[in-house]
Amino acid sequence: MEYSIKSGSPQKQRSACLVAGVHESRKLTPAAQAVDAAADRLLSNLLRKGDMDGKIGQSLLLHNVPGIFADRLLLVGCGKQGDLDDRQYRKIIVNSVKQLKQTGATEAVSFLPTLEVRNRDYPWRIQSAVQFIDHELYQFKEFKSKNKEPKKSLRKITLMVPGRRELQQNEPALTRGIALAAGVKLTRDLANRPANTCTPTHLAEQAVELGKTYPSVEVTVLEEEEMKDLGMNSLLSVSQGSAQPAKLVVFRYQGAGDDSKPVVLVGKGITFDTGGISIKPASAMDEMKFDMCGAASVFGAVAAVAGMEMPINLVGLTPAVENMPSGTATKPGDIFTSMSGQTVEVLNTDAEGRLILCDALTYSEQFEPAAVIDIATLTGAVIIALGKHATGLLSNHDPLAAELLKAGETAGDRAWQLPLWEEYEKQLDSPFADMANIGGREAGTITAACFLSKFARKFHWAHLDIAGTAWVSGKNKCATGRPVPLLVQYLTRHCEKRN
């Protein structure tokens, strides 16, 4: 998809389809007014006859509108004027794309970014428009044998701003939107691939590819032997039952000076989670191919940051492991010594995410991080607590948590904080080792984060549990690319604040 920005008057745009908004009730936006004036009041007359009211969700496609240069005009309902929030803006944009897909237009010029959105400036509206449009147009067809794009499909969208000044002002926002969209797409592609393709080795290869696409990203891959030497026995306890060797991908992006401490992103990369010996029930087990969405989101965030040439130092760590039952698999009760030296009794081999993350967290100490954020499809419990709308957030540093919550709001990719009080810690007590890897039925998301916090004592750390948000189930089953928008927004703000 190609995105650009432009200024100019609606009636003069040569395009397959012009997109303009109508507010409730039957109130033309300035762009629609300009068309109406050029078209001898055609729009006012149609609206008066009741063809459209302006409610969000409505639309009206017109052909051969006189007085304009565009082949079609798509009017999109925008709700009450002066009352638009982020989510309504998103709905309006998404609705316009849904309608455009049906028209056969291969290109369109949209005036929707000129809509006023409460507390959101032009750059936000432009960047978000690209983000929302690209998200809506996403398709995953790698494994469809009839992999042909229909001849007539949307290929180019021009987003309109009022004048030359805004054009200049919004160039960086356009670039950011495009880079973010590319990162989100990468995350979704990796996550949607089946586990027989997307193995730990595949992720490692894709990381190397990412390094070729973005030469500013340095990629190294640690093999099992190196992990063994580092003492990552907790991580390796998960891969020992699998025929697929574990990999630990390390991304390094140096966009700022050496004195600037990096942010470290750690992503859970379980390429398939059977549960191991504590095997999962059969129903919906296919969705456990998505158990590497945390890792995929690190790939996406790294790609977006590199695409934006963001002035920041960033490290990405993605432990990639397959969790299988077998004759060599970990058994409940087995005890391992993690890289930190702390011992762990594995009471449930299905609580494997924390076992690979804890060693990656310890590994991140060497980077002297400004902050470490891990991203993981860690617990079913977070879906019980928050449903599928919010990512669970837990942190040992409240200012970091606040930044991440804010970033999620801004990016339309929200998180919600849960407590990480020490009262929960005793649920992890083990009679045999320093800790158990499960904490019982109560507060499963919190005890999982408590476990991780024991490996994050030396830095500011936050944990994002994306089990509910990383993909949607059902007939449109698909990875969402969350929380890449949140992460990239956080990183954007992080370096704005420093400079």
> Would you please indicate which residues are annotated as catalytic (active-site) residues?
280, 354
Judged by CB under 5 A, the stretch of 104-112, 160-168, 178-186, 349-357 that binds Zn ion is 349-357
Closest approach of Cβ 289 to Mn ion, in Å? 13
- In the list Zn ion, Mn ion, ligand BES, none, the entry touching 467 (Cβ below 5 to 8 angstroms by class) is ligand BES
Closest contact distance (angstroms) between CB of 310 and ligand BES is 30
Q: Are 491 and 310 in contact (CB under 8 A)?
A: yes
User: If contact means CB under 5 to 8 A according to the sort of partner, which of Zn ion, Mn ion, ligand BES, none does residue 381 touch?
Assistant: ligand BES
Q: Contact region for Zn ion (CB under 5 A) — 5-13, 121-129, 209-217, 286-294?
A: 286-294
Count of other CB atoms within 10 angstroms of residue 252: 17
Between 332 and 371, how does the x/- string for binding to Mn ion read (CB under 5 A)? Answer: ------------------x-x-------------------
Of residues 32 and 288, the one with the C-beta less far from Mn ion: 288
Q: What is the DSSP string of 10-37?
A: GGG---S-EEEEEEETTEE-HHHHHHHH
Q: Which residues pair with 319 in a beta bridge?
A: 248
Min. distance of Cβ 196 from Mn ion in angstroms?
19
β-pair partners for 108 = 157
Helix (H), strand (E) at residue 362: helix 353-364
Amino acid making up residue 81: Q
DSSP 333: T
- The distance of closest approach from Cβ of residue 467 to Zn ion in the complex, given in angstroms and rounded to an integer, is 8
By CB under 5 A, residue 273 contacts Mn ion:
yes
Query: Which residue lies nearer to Zn ion by CB, 166 or 322?
Result: 322
Query: Cα dist. 448→110, 323, 386, 395 in Å?
Result: 45, 18, 16, 12
Among 300, 353, 444, 468, contact with Zn ion (rule: CB under 5 A): 353
Q: Cβ of residue 295: shortest distance to Zn ion, in angstroms?
A: 12
Q: Is the Cβ of residue 352 or residue 359 nearer to Mn ion in the bound state?
A: 352
Write down the residue that tokens 């059969």 correspond to.
282
Q: State the Cα–Cα distance between residues 293 and 188, nearest whole angstrom.
A: 8
Residue 333 corresponds to which amino acid? Answer: G
With contacts defined by CB under 5 A, how many residues of the chain interact with Zn ion?
Answer: 4
Q: Does residue 319 belong to the site contacting Zn ion (CB under 5 A)?
A: no
Smaller CB separation from Zn ion, 291 or 403: 291
Residue 348 contact among ligand BES, Zn ion, Mn ion, none, beta carbon within 5 to 8 Å by kind: ligand BES
**Contact in structure between 237 and 337 (CB atoms under 8 Å):** no
| DSSP 8-state symbol, 465 | E
In the bound complex, what is the minimum distance in angstroms from residue 411's beta carbon to ligand BES?
22
- Looking at residue 441, the DSSP 8-state letter turns out to be S
Q: How far is the CB of 15 from ligand BES (least distance, A)?
A: 43
**Residue among 125 and 289 whose Cβ is closer to Zn ion:** 289
Residue 65: contacted member of Mn ion, ligand BES, Zn ion, none (CB under 5 to 8 Å, by partner type): none
Site string for Zn ion, 251-270 (x = CB under 5 A): -------------------x
48 membership: H or E segment, kind and range: helix 42-48
Instruction: Mark 68-106 as b/e (b = at least 16 C-beta within 10 Å).
Output: bebbbbbbbbbbeeeebebebbbbbbebbbebbeebebe
Task: Point out which span in 58-66, 230-238, 346-354, 409-417 binds Zn ion (CB under 5 A).
Answer: 346-354
Bridge-based pairing state of the strands 247-254 and 391-395: unpaired
Choice between 294 and 369, CB closer to Zn ion? 294
Residue 384's H or E segment, with its range, is helix 381-386
Residue placing its CB nearer to Zn ion in the complex, 291 or 345: 291
Whether the CB-CB separation of 435 and 451 falls below 8 Å is answered with: yes
Residues 6+ apart with CB under 8 A from 474: none
Q: What does 408 bind: Mn ion, Zn ion, ligand BES, none (CB cut-off 5 to 8 Å by kind)?
A: none
Per partner kind, with CB cut-offs from 5 to 8 A, the member of Mn ion, Zn ion, ligand BES, none near residue 322 is none
* Chosen from ligand BES, Zn ion, Mn ion, none, partner binding at 444 (C-beta under 5 to 8 Å by type): ligand BES
Using CB under 6 A, list all residues that contact ligand BES. Answer: 273, 291, 348, 350-353, 377-381, 438, 444, 467
- The answer to the question of residue 465 lying near Zn ion (CB under 5 A) is no
Buried b (16+ CB within 10 A) or exposed e, 403-430: bbbebbebbbbbbebbebeeebbebbeb
Compute the C-alpha angle 26/28/34, nearest 5°: 150
d(CA 249, CA 108): 40
Least spacing, CB of residue 467 vs ligand BES, in Å:
4
Toward ligand BES, which CB reaches closer, 292 or 487?
292
Question: Which residue number, 322 or 350, has a Cβ lying nearer to Mn ion?
Answer: 350
Residues in the site for Mn ion, rule: CB under 5 A? 273, 350, 352
Residues in the site for Zn ion, rule: CB under 5 A? 270, 273, 291, 353
